[in-house]
Amino acid sequence: MNEIPAFGDVLSVRIEEGIAHLKLTRPEKQNALNDRVIDALDRFFAKPGEDVRVVVLSGAGNHFSAGLDLGEHVERSAAETMHHSRNWHRVMDLIQFGGLPVVSALHGGAIGGGLELAAATHVRVAEPSAFFQLPEGRRGIFVGGGASVRIGRILGPDRLTEMMLTGRKYDADEALSLGLVHYRVDEGEALAKAEKLARQIAGNAPLSNHLIIQSLARIDDMSRADGLFTESLCAALSVSSEDAREGLTAFLEKRSPRFR
């Protein structure tokens, strides 16, 4: 087990058996996101360590994240706001497309930027206390951390429009039915479920995980023909790898594969 104290008091990191356990650690602020949190996430995902195969992301206290820390609001010009938003986009892209599967354990509020952060993860587990909201429109501002794209792809533009206009709040069961989360578990069980899923995912071939993360969201942006061609390239890369040979050998020998 390896504890990494390099992220101050906003993000704790513990690495154990190839799984990095990340926890937002601002419970007194309901894990509201500020530039220090975004910078800590940026620094971790830029260099997670060669031994890390999967990440589990959670929040300390009663909420996953209440979103942007409005208590630290800074007056910015239009240009400064655009650059600030684009930096959030860059970090969220690093989480989604960095190559590591990320499983999030959600409880309490996943609001605004907190929901944008959750949407950048690949597998989302929610407890009954979890709720999901984009209240920016009610506060006279617009989303800036990727919600219009990531959450729009999940809900569709019509439902996202209604959600943002009204400040509508979805509970865990509604979120499951809409695809905002993939698993709904009992209260207090999200982290254990996320860790179980992380161990399962860590047992996959690293190249397969990487291709799944890198390709599927991008294929969704492509034309049918381009998507199918990209799929064939991913298939060719995976089937010609040492992982594929190990996977086939393990199947024939009726044992679990031992991927590097």
Residue 181 in contact with residue 125, Cβ under 8 Å? yes
What is the Cα–Cα distance from 124 to 56, expressed in whole angstroms? 10
Query: Of 3, 116, 231, 246, which is the active-site residue?
Result: 116
Question: Is 116 assigned a catalytic role?
Answer: yes
Buried b (16+ CB within 10 A) or exposed e, 37-72: bbbbbbebbeebeeebbbbbbbbbbebbbbbbbeee
| 206 close to 246: Cβ distance less than 8 angstroms | no
Tell how far CA 216 is from the center of its chain.
15
CA distance 121 to 57: 8
156's torsion region: left (phi>0), alpha (psi -120 to 50) or beta?
Answer: left
User: Helices marked H in 113-205 — which ranges?
Assistant: 113-119, 147-155, 157-166, 172-178, 190-202
Give every CB contact of residue 244 below 8 A, 6+ residues apart in sequence: 205, 238
Residues 50 and 2: beta-carbon distance below 8 Å: no
Active site residue 75: no
Q: Which of 16, 17, 28, 136 is catalytic?
A: 136
Contacts of 172 (CB under 8 A, 6+ apart): 126, 127, 128, 129, 130, 131, 181, 184
Q: Could you list the active site residues? A: 116, 136
